[in-house]
Structure 1
Amino acid sequence: MKRETIDELARRHGIGETRPSPEKDEVTVSTETKIKILEALNVDLDAPEQPGKPLVGQKTATTKTLPASYLPPFLGKTRVWGVTLEPYALRSSRNWGIGDFQDLCDIARVFGPLGADFIGLTPLHAPFLADPDRCSPYEPSSRQRLNPLYIAVDRVPGYEPHPDVERRAAELRETTLVDYVGVCSLKLEALRNIWAGWTPEQNGSSNPENFETFITREGAPLRLHALFEALSFTMSAQGLGAGWHAWPESFKDPESPDVAAFAETHEDEIRFHMWLQWLAHGQLDAASEAAKAAGMRIGLYLDLAVGEALDGAATWGERDLYVSAATVGSPPDPFAAEGQDWHLAAFQPAAIASGDPSPYQRMVTAAMRYAGAIRIDHAAALRRLFLVPLDLKPDGGAYVEYPEKDLLGILAETSGHHECLVIGEDLGVLPDGLQDDLTEARILSYRILSYERTEDGFKPGQEYPALSLACISTHDHQTLAGWWRGADITTRAEHGILPPDITKAHQEERKTERKDLARALDDAGIKQPPHLPPGSAQDQALTRIVIDAHRFIARTASALSAVRLADMTGEKNPTNVPGTSDSYPNWKPKLSLALEALSEAPLLVAISTVMREERPRS
């Protein structure tokens, strides 16, 4: 096929002509890349041309206004604050070695009286239960289903304590890292025992919805997920792996005769996995109600991952909806010279907003039904994603456009129905005008203190957009104390993420950043001492700067301000070190304090007092 034809097809299907480069502004996307991405988009390269077909994500001249998402009326009169945390990291005297939905109820009762209006959580998406060490919440098996490991088994009707189970649970509570394999084994064993004697009469008041009603409402997608889980455990037991890519060909297709035969002989197992989703649904709903009962006007704030695992339940059950021959990533940049491949499956641009309900609507509804706010990871995906063909490196990828106005329309309609505000993680390289579009669509911007800098230093708090969430750190960052000490720079060096020369430059730059932060605090009326703590200072010496930095973000113009629980408990170990896989136990470190001790933690009391002073409920 002629290059001109390939170029025209690529334009018609929203494939970018260029991509960024660390060395120069733009690099032309190769014909090879365009062909591979067209094939990944299921484009028939030999089909007759269709002149005039619009680009997938093109905004036409008829576009006037963008649909606006829901905003709580009280945000027009006041600014609020809340807490963000990693739910699995919660310690308590009763959980089974991993934070659970009951812990969320209990922590809402801690922070509600302190004035917090929301609890922000990393994704609660369904993982690979048959391979529990695949624990990244941002590479889930399915975004439409919940993580059964968060079920509080001791709160499930029919559970009866057993000495051996209680002993094993106590051992799992004592570990400093979440033992996902041990937790999964113990919880599933106990839940299977309950299931063996469970009857519909045990619905009780613990779940707002009857089990059979839940199955009917969730329909075929729920059953496909449960069927995948049953198959995944069977295939793992045979040494074939939890993900479907390694399964025999006859089991890769959910409509094959072999899969149908398996389903017929494993009906009880399939219903068990649907029951787990029902339990999770009921307990998360209870956590949402507990947050509101504690006085939180927003309640739970849930995170949506940008994609799903290539070999998980979502891509197995509804393969036609996903790009199968390319993965989500990012182009080369100064911090990742070779680019990044996130190994995530993306929705097909032509399918994402199609159908009633559309795949995108089903996904956001899965979170909004419980939440007063959702955060869209990598909000640039509303307009484009960087796709990397499976057999190429990230520098062989290209941007592909998505139907932005359709997606914003779905967000607006669904958020209005559920009265759920929307936050967009608008960091990194963004398409021109996207932040303006998000503002028009009433989607809050995501502002991290250390990123809000110019050549002159940190931006003044009054320059933060009103429609934004301001915070100091996230799951991908060190705490403020760790940042002051340069722990993030040291960690990247220790894991070989950046070479020594760049590490040294970053260390020098951090000295300037510390002074700039102190100056920004002074300018905000938060007076700093003449002699700042050194970069080697320990936590006690950094208490004042940590508290003052939180006062600064509380004083910003941002409607929402989020305090990370790890900052309040002074955690030393990062949650996640981007760029590592096996060299650091990502998504496993627990908090150093148990839930029962939080309300008396001095730093937590001090920071929550500052937030309440600057953002009182009104």
Structure 2
Amino acid sequence: MADLDRLAAGHGIVRSYHALDGTLTRAPDEAVRALLKVLGVDPETGQPPPVPADWPPPPEAPQDAACYLPEFLQEGRAWGITCQLYGLRSGRNWGIGDFEDLARLGEMAARKGADFLGVNPLHALFLAEPQKASPFSPSDRSFLNPLYIAVDQVEGFIPGHDLDETALNALNEAVLVDYTAVSEHKLRVLRNIHRRGAGPSRSAFDAFVEASGEPLRRYALFEAVSLEMAGRGYGAGWMSWPEPFRDPAGEAVAEFARDHADEVEFQMWLQWLADRQLGTAARRLREAGMRIGLYLDLAVGTAPDGAATWSDRSLTVVGAEIGAPPDMFNPAGQSWGLAPLSPSGIAAGGFAPVRRSYQSILRHAGALRIDHAMSLYRLFWIPAGFPAGAGAYVLYPMADMLRVLAEVSQASRALIIGEDLGVVPEGFRHEMDRANLLGYRIFYFERDPNGFVPPERWQRSALACVGSHDTTTLAAWWTGSDIQLRLEIGLFDEAAAQKERETRRREKDQAIAALHRCGMHEAGEAFDETVAAGIHRLVAMAPARLVAAQMEDLLGLTEQPNVPGTVDTHPNWRRKLPVTIEELEEVPTLRAVLEGLSRERPRAP
């Protein structure tokens, strides 16, 4: 092993790895040197620690780390619904889905036999730049997005005084979520309620603030400074601020906190409202009969200039972003614009920050999906200034990460799902299974050389679904409209589109044949509720402990929430559902799919 290789290995950098197609790829020397500098190691003078002979170490879960698994899922199965909360429509919301909508959708799903309701990540984003709408690029994963607060449910709200009917109608009629207008409208009314001093007793809020401690105060302070800086022409993120405001412990920030105490308290009050309403929604789902209840989502990282990195610089790495190596879908690799957690930083903190992050998101959840679960073992780091494909994997202390996750899971009585798609290290899924960490299986990808894998051969320890927020919807897949969309927005050229159409024709024929083999002979060429119900029933027949149906597929929509690889050419994270919650039960596709799921996976008495 060359000196650079030994130095990299000694500091947890795995520069050679197998890509998705099995080929061995090696990170360039320049990128490895840059990553060493990011880790605080001089690549020219650094002395490598001893490197184990079996480097890199395999993924390994500690023998005593087991995530919570409800008794009814030891042998049984369940199903649920997933949705993009922002996209829910109702007769009462303010242009964006909110926590009251979440509760009402869950109560409807529970009546149909669902055991859980999953949502996109609810993490705090940037109130100063609400158009930064990706729920997977949070400012801080430990706090909630206040735009999901149902303002009409806040005590002290005065409809005739606070409501601007004209503005509200415009927000509700829009096809896409207008985050800027929603933010302006909601925050104006919430500020008025806060100024009036209305709402529940002060003691409940004070107790929340005391229990949340310094992390809440720093988050609220960040938001207050961020709004002020944006008003002065700077960006919402701290890296664009004047130097004195980049240090949360500096005198400039301390003076700001004294001068803007009301605004800091307002930001903490918003978190209290959001936490309270989310807790109420979770309780209503359980009371409606769901055995799991609320199923939340944890993003894999945070924005490099958000509240989390500003509040504690030791926990995240500046100078690198996380992403994915090149594969057949993204030949140039992917850079996700997220700051990686520092392996040494979280270890030095006794894994307390990681524990706190899990505890905060599992306060009200019965299940948690961990985006890119391989982050428990390794992440693909891309040094600043390098192309996405020129990164390398950096290892994390998996045994300790899993132990903390399992402890919080058991204490919260919440099951954990790990999204294990993409480049998965050898042995990782075995360790997931050993730790009761459910995998994630998507219908489109469950294939072998003979076509779609029969449902009886699917993994038991998994959540199975037709598609996700990052894949095409079932209606678009069946009709091929997703191929046309990718051609129109430049992700395909005509040759690639034609090749994909030919592949899709074969895959569709195989899907129809699979439906016929399972006795669903009425499924044909055209997409309708029969096809939708059939494909979902096919997935539900699998032994997988959980099955999820996403709202876009329940409504037969062709538009997907997010098209990976796009920024401005597709309205990612902005689409609303075309019908309100009050109208959902009248949609034939939804009725057919939910009836089929309930028959295939009936809820036990």
Equivalent position amino acid for 2:133 in 1: C
Asked if residue 478 in structure 1 is aligned to residue 472 in structure 2, the reply is: yes
For the 8 Å contact 2:351–2:401, the answer to whether it is kept is no
Post-superposition shift, 1:477? 2.2
Distance 1:5 1:189 in 2: 59
Q: Residue 607 of structure 1 corresponds to which residue in structure 2?
A: 593
SS class of match (2:156): coil
Q: 1:459 to 1:266 in 2, by over 3 A?
A: same
Q: 1:170 to 1:23 in 2, by over 3 A?
A: closer
For the 8 Å contact 1:225–1:314, the answer to whether it is kept is yes
Post-superposition shift, 1:314? 0.8
- Please list the CA deviations of residues 372-409 of structure 1 after superposition, one character each: whole Å capped at 9, or x if unmatched: 10001111111111000011111221111111111111
Post-superposition shift, 1:25? 1.5
Equivalent position amino acid for 2:589 in 1: L
Q: Residue 462 of structure 1 corresponds to which residue in structure 2?
A: 456
Q: Residue 417 of structure 1 corresponds to which residue in structure 2?
A: 411
Distance 1:23 1:314 in 2: 35
Q: 1:448 to 1:127 in 2, by over 3 A?
A: same
Q: 1:501 to 1:253 in 2, by over 3 A?
A: same
Distance 2:332 2:460 in 1: 36
- Please list the CA deviations of residues 127-149 of structure 1 after superposition, one character each: whole Å capped at 9, or x if unmatched: 10010000000011111110000
For the 8 Å contact 1:66–1:437, the answer to whether it is kept is no
For the 8 Å contact 1:123–1:303, the answer to whether it is kept is yes
Distance 1:522 1:26 in 2: 40
User: Which of residues 484, 497, 506 in structure 2 aligns to 1:490?
Assistant: 484
Post-superposition shift, 1:28? 2.4
- Please list the CA deviations of residues 402-434 of structure 1 after superposition, one character each: whole Å capped at 9, or x if unmatched: 111111111110000000000011111111111
SS class of match (2:409): helix
RMSD value, Cα: 2.2
User: Which of residues 24, 27, 36 in structure 2 aligns to 1:26?
Assistant: 24
For the 8 Å contact 1:69–1:442, the answer to whether it is kept is yes
Gaps of 5+ in 2: none
Asked if residue 392 in structure 1 is aligned to residue 378 in structure 2, the reply is: no
Q: Residue 203 of structure 1 corresponds to which residue in structure 2?
A: 201
Distance 1:23 1:379 in 2: 20
SS class of match (1:300): strand
Equivalent position amino acid for 1:482 in 2: A
User: Which of residues 245, 257, 263 in structure 2 aligns to 1:251?
Assistant: 245
Q: Residue 173 of structure 1 corresponds to which residue in structure 2?
A: 172
Asked if residue 575 in structure 1 is aligned to residue 561 in structure 2, the reply is: yes
SS class of match (2:337): strand
Q: 1:57 to 1:282 in 2, by over 3 A?
A: farther
User: Which of residues 71, 89, 92 in structure 1 aligns to 2:90?
Assistant: 92
- Please list the CA deviations of residues 472-506 of structure 1 after superposition, one character each: whole Å capped at 9, or x if unmatched: 11111222111101122222211111333222111
SS class of match (2:294): strand
Equivalent position amino acid for 1:239 in 2: G
Gaps of 5+ in 1: none
Q: 1:129 to 1:270 in 2, by over 3 A?
A: same
Q: 1:428 to 1:389 in 2, by over 3 A?
A: same
Moved more, 345-354 or 409-418: 345-354
Distance 1:62 1:510 in 2: 38
For the 8 Å contact 2:464–2:544, the answer to whether it is kept is yes
Q: 1:344 to 1:155 in 2, by over 3 A?
A: same
Distance 2:495 2:23 in 1: 23
Percent identity, please: 43
Q: Residue 190 of structure 1 corresponds to which residue in structure 2?
A: 189
SS class of match (1:504): helix
Superposition TM-score, scaled by structure 1 size: 0.94
Q: Residue 367 of structure 1 corresponds to which residue in structure 2?
A: 361
Post-superposition shift, 1:27? 2.9
Post-superposition shift, 1:543? 2.2
Equivalent position amino acid for 1:165 in 2: D
Distance 2:45 2:364 in 1: 45
Equivalent position amino acid for 1:257 in 2: E
User: Which of residues 332, 337, 340 in structure 2 aligns to 1:343?
Assistant: 337
Q: Residue 526 of structure 1 corresponds to which residue in structure 2?
A: 520
Post-superposition shift, 1:44? 5.2
Distance 1:196 1:347 in 2: 38
1:138-157 alignment runs, 5 A limit: 138-157=136-155
For the 8 Å contact 2:171–2:181, the answer to whether it is kept is yes
Moved more, 89-98 or 60-69: 60-69
- Please list the CA deviations of residues 213-232 of structure 1 after superposition, one character each: whole Å capped at 9, or x if unmatched: 11111111111111110011
Q: Residue 286 of structure 1 corresponds to which residue in structure 2?
A: 280
- Please list the CA deviations of residues 244-291 of structure 1 after superposition, one character each: whole Å capped at 9, or x if unmatched: 111111111111211111111111111110110011000000010011
Q: 1:92 to 1:38 in 2, by over 3 A?
A: same
Distance 2:557 2:475 in 1: 9
SS class of match (1:301): strand
- Please list the CA deviations of residues 144-168 of structure 1 after superposition, one character each: whole Å capped at 9, or x if unmatched: 1100000001111111113652332
Post-superposition shift, 1:574? 1.8
For the 8 Å contact 1:12–1:56, the answer to whether it is kept is no
Q: 1:232 to 1:284 in 2, by over 3 A?
A: same
Post-superposition shift, 1:522? 2.2
Q: Residue 547 of structure 2 corresponds to which residue in structure 1?
A: 561
Distance 2:569 2:124 in 1: 24
Equivalent position amino acid for 1:396 in 2: A
Distance 1:80 1:220 in 2: 39
Moved more, 414-423 or 165-174: 165-174
SS class of match (2:369): strand
Superposition TM-score, scaled by structure 2 size: 0.95
Equivalent position amino acid for 1:181 in 2: T
User: Which of residues 321, 330, 343 in structure 2 aligns to 1:327?
Assistant: 321
Distance 2:258 2:232 in 1: 20
User: Which of residues 90, 99, 102 in structure 1 aligns to 2:100?
Assistant: 102
Q: 1:103 to 1:10 in 2, by over 3 A?
A: same
Distance 1:428 1:31 in 2: 25
Q: Residue 442 of structure 2 corresponds to which residue in structure 1?
A: 448
For the 8 Å contact 2:221–2:264, the answer to whether it is kept is yes
For the 8 Å contact 2:530–2:592, the answer to whether it is kept is no
Distance 1:498 1:403 in 2: 39
Q: 1:276 to 1:356 in 2, by over 3 A?
A: farther
Distance 1:221 1:57 in 2: 37
SS class of match (2:548): strand
Q: Residue 374 of structure 2 corresponds to which residue in structure 1?
A: 380
For the 8 Å contact 2:62–2:402, the answer to whether it is kept is no
Q: Residue 117 of structure 2 corresponds to which residue in structure 1?
A: 119
Q: 1:55 to 1:89 in 2, by over 3 A?
A: farther
Distance 2:602 2:38 in 1: 51
For the 8 Å contact 2:532–2:556, the answer to whether it is kept is no
Distance 1:161 1:559 in 2: 45
Q: 1:56 to 1:588 in 2, by over 3 A?
A: farther
Q: 1:146 to 1:63 in 2, by over 3 A?
A: closer
